[in-house]
Amino acid sequence: MELPHQCTLCPRACRADRAAGHVGYCGADDRLMVARAALHHWEEPCLSGDPQDRRGSGTVFFSGCSLRCCYCQNYPISQEGVGKAISVQRLADIFLQLQHDGARNLNLVTATQYLPWVCEALDLAKGGGLTLPVVYNTGGYETVETVKALQGYVDIWLTDFKYAASDLAARLSSAADYPVVAEAALRQMLRQTGAPAYDAEGFLRRGVIVRHLALPGCVADSFAVLQLLARLRDEEKVSFIPSLMSQFTPFYKAASQGLGRRITTYEYRKVIEEAIRLGLTDGYMQEKSSAREEYTPPFDLEGV
């Protein structure tokens, strides 16, 4: 797989000549940019254990993003270009170092804009002894073609399902097609990966985790997302792990789009009640007080 002259790696299909160094919608050009690589302790417990677990999830944060949400908590790397250019061999070495450090899995955060390099680095790392399950941590805005291209590389999909309403997706993420795109991608993830499978310690080895971040003033859309997920579960006849999140904090440009506060206890309780009604209970629900700074690590090029 080569870096494209007309990039269509993500649903934006901006056709930037990235092989010639032009910058795509995602902010990436012909360089492989990484902002942080370290053990992370704040993913779902089946990925990183409890907060006292010394090992955690081996996260690699890539620079740039095709979604670029107005409330992104990682906005310095997703939208402001923070990161360091590295080689494919260096990326493979990072993967192996995280395994050496005790990571329970290899967690690739927002990696699609670097797909050719990531696949090559995984091949190199596996040739060098990488045995960790690979987690693909994504905002859910992926083409079916990209999901298919990752078959054989990705063991665990850690995907968002942000919106059911196209107008909300357009306003907050400039992606009116998000609901349709994310549903098609999720269906493909489930077909490729199958039902969740765990090791003897209870850590996920294979499967799909679907996150939904409840947003203030958007309870009706959260209900619609949960109803969509329940329908998809029934149609595909494949289980996944739902993860309802209450950690929204008005980062970046959130206030300018009417998201200038955190979600209330009442709002989040209503979302949980709907999930329970729909049987989406075999997963995770955050405490209302879960908006903590640990969820946003310092992007100081650690491990890069």
72-95: pLDDT as tens digits = 999 999 999 999 999 999 999 999
pLDDT tens digits for 140-174? Answer: 999 999 999 999 999 999 999 999 999 999 999 99
- Per-residue pLDDT band at 297 (split at 50, 70, 90): confident
> Has residue 2 been placed in a domain?
no
> What is the Cα–Cα distance from 217 to 200, expressed in whole angstroms?
41
What pLDDT is stored for residue 170 in this prediction?
98
Q: Total domain count for the chain?
A: 1
Instruction: Find the domain containing 188 and state its range.
Output: 33-295
Over 90: is that where the pLDDT of 288 sits? Answer: no
Kindly report the number of other CB atoms within 10 A of residue 181's CB atom: 19
Residues in contact with 167: Cβ distance below 8 Å, sequence separation at least 6, in sequence order: 176
Mean of the pLDDT values across residues 105-114?
98
Mean of the pLDDT values across residues 229-238?
97
> Has residue 15 been placed in a domain?
no
What pLDDT is stored for residue 6 in this prediction?
96
CA 178 → CA 92, 183, 297, distances in Å?
A: 31, 8, 27
> Has residue 67 been placed in a domain?
yes
What pLDDT is stored for residue 290 in this prediction?
53
Q: Which amino acids are annotated as binding site, given as ranges? A: 65, 69, 72
What pLDDT is stored for residue 286 in this prediction?
87
Q: Which amino acids are annotated as binding site for [4Fe-4S] cluster, given as ranges? A: 65, 69, 72
- Per-residue pLDDT band at 285 (split at 50, 70, 90): very high
Over 60: is that where the pLDDT of 292 sits? Answer: no
Q: What rounded mean pLDDT belongs to the chain?
A: 95
CA 106 → CA 89, 125, 138, distances in Å?
A: 16, 11, 14
Residues in contact with 175: Cβ distance below 8 Å, sequence separation at least 6, in sequence order: 11, 67, 141, 169, 181
Over 60: is that where the pLDDT of 269 sits? Answer: yes
> Has residue 19 been placed in a domain?
no
CATH code at position 206: 3.20.20.70
Question: Going by DSSP bridges, is the β-strand pair 204-213/197-198 parallel, antiparallel, or unpaired?
Answer: antiparallel
pLDDT tens digits for 10-51? Answer: 999 999 999 999 999 999 999 999 999 999 998 999 999 987
**158-168: buried (b, 16+ CB within 10 Å) or exposed (e) per residue?**
bbbbbbbbeeb
pLDDT tens digits for 241-265? Answer: 999 999 999 999 999 999 999 999 9
> What is the Cα–Cα distance from 55 to 246, expressed in whole angstroms?
25
What pLDDT is stored for residue 166 in this prediction?
98
What pLDDT is stored for residue 1 in this prediction?
65
Beta strands in 5-119 (DSSP E): 32-40, 57-62, 84-86, 106-109
What pLDDT is stored for residue 200 in this prediction?
96
> Has residue 3 been placed in a domain?
no
Decide if 249 contacts 201 (C-beta within 8 A).
no
Over 90: is that where the pLDDT of 300 sits? Answer: no
> Has residue 65 been placed in a domain?
yes
What pLDDT is stored for residue 289 in this prediction?
55
What pLDDT is stored for residue 242 in this prediction?
98
> Has residue 63 been placed in a domain?
yes
